[in-house]
Amino acid sequence: MAMNYSTLTSAIVIALLAWCSTVNQNAVQALSPSSSFPAQTSQQRFTKSRLFSSTEKAGYEPKWKKKKTLAEEAGSADGLGFEKVGLTGRIPVVFEQGNNTKTSLAFAGQPLRDVASQAGQYIKYQCGKGECGTCECMVNGKWIRPCVATVPALADGEEFKIQLKAISAKSASSGTFFSIRSFIMGFWNNLLGMVGFVKMRRAAQKNWSDRQSYEGRVAQRTREIRAARLAKYANLSP
């Protein structure tokens, strides 16, 4: 029976492997730019693939774009002035991040988080409760947490300057979803999954046999004890 199970498992695994490789080959062929053209020489294919890749790069659209704030949509605060772009307040708030500076206006007591959004200044938050320190920025040599901080009351003419941590690196695009690499990695993952499945199946089979034999021994011992007890009572009876 065990032999039958392992033969059946191996047959299923081989069939799945063959199916996965066929699907992968078909998908790669279907997605390959050269598949929509009739027979071509390798030189033609090479030239076409170079054309495709250069066209894709030229027309590349990033998946994520920063949305403009209402003030940015109204125009440049530098050129038009704060009031013309809808920014109001008494205290100039300046966000500095590396060489970039963004300025907005705010009132005393206004949440700094809102002021940063209105200025179009990106700040990375996590807990949003002032606990984790992810959003920490420097103000006059002291760390503050903009997720919970507010704009302080300042004298006329003073500005509230906030220095933000530099962003380490721009995130790169994750690339094309249907890349050949993704198919290869998918196939590899399937293969690992199937190997793991076969290993688990073998371990489970061994556990099952051990348990069966243990339960068999327990049942045998129970029968012996019961038989001994019955024999004892039979001897005692008159």
Angle at 16 (CA atoms; ends 30, 9), nearest 5 degrees: 180
In the list 85, 102, 105, 145, the residue contacting ligand FES (rule: CB under 6 A) is 145
Q: CB neighbours of 118 closer than 8 A, spacing ≥ 6?
A: 69, 70, 71, 87, 104
Burial of 103 (0-12, 13-18, 19+ CB in 10 A): middle
Tokens 């294919």 — which residue? Answer: 45
Angle at 48 (CA atoms; ends 43, 53), nearest 5 degrees: 130
When asked if residue 134 is in the footprint of ligand FES (CB under 6 A), the reply is yes
Closer residue to ligand FES (CB): 87 or 146: 146
When asked if residue 132 is in the footprint of ligand FES (CB under 6 A), the reply is yes
Site string for ligand FES, 37-56 (x = CB under 6 A): --------------------
When asked if residue 147 is in the footprint of ligand FES (CB under 6 A), the reply is yes
CB atoms within 10 A of CB 118: 22
When asked if residue 152 is in the footprint of ligand FES (CB under 6 A), the reply is no
When asked if residue 116 is in the footprint of ligand FES (CB under 6 A), the reply is no
d(CA 102, CA 125): 18
CB 32 within 8 A of CB 52: no
d(CA 167, CA 80): 29
When asked if residue 122 is in the footprint of ligand FES (CB under 6 A), the reply is no
Tell the smallest beta-carbon distance from residue 54 to ligand FES (Å). Answer: 43
When asked if residue 133 is in the footprint of ligand FES (CB under 6 A), the reply is yes
In the list 135, 137, 144, 164, the residue contacting ligand FES (rule: CB under 6 A) is 135
Site string for ligand FES, 174-213 (x = CB under 6 A): ----------------------------------------
Tell the smallest beta-carbon distance from residue 145 to ligand FES (Å). Answer: 4
Q: Which residues bind ligand FES (CB under 6 A)?
A: 125-128, 130-135, 145, 147
